[in-house]
Structure 1
Amino acid sequence: MRAEAVDATPAVAVRAIAGDERPAQLAQRLQLSLTSLPQAARLLFSFGPQGLELQAPGRRLKPLRVDFTGPGVERVGSQLLLRAARVKTRPARLLDLTAGLGADAWRLAQAGFIVTAIERQPLVHALLEDALTRAPRLAGTGSLQVVCADARSALRNLEPSAWPEVVYLDPMFPEQGRTALPRRELQLLRELTGDDDNGVELATLARMRSTRRVVVKRPLHAPPLLPSVDVCLKGRAVRFDVYLVAAGP
Structure 2
Amino acid sequence: MGKDGFTCVECNEKATELHRDYNNGILKITICESCQKPVDKYIEYDPVIILIDAILCKTQAFRHILFNTSLNIHWKLCVFCLLCEAYLRWSLLHGSEQSSDPADIIRYTKEWEFYGMFALATLELSAYCGGVLCFLWLVLGRLQGATIELSLLLRALLLSCYGKVLLIPAVIWEHDYSPLCLGLIKIFVLTSNSQAIRVILNSSRRLSLLAVCFGVLAETCVAQACNKLPWSIQDI
Question: TM bucket by the smaller chain?
Answer: under 0.3
Which protein has the larger Cα radius of gyration, Structure 1 or Structure 2? Answer: 2
Q: Which has the larger share of strand?
A: 1
Q: Compare the two structures and name the one with the higher helix fraction.
A: 2
Q: Larger relative CO (CA 8 A, sep 6+): 1 or 2?
A: 2
Give the TM-score normalised by structure 1: 0.27
- What TM-score do the two structures reach when normalised by structure 2? 0.28
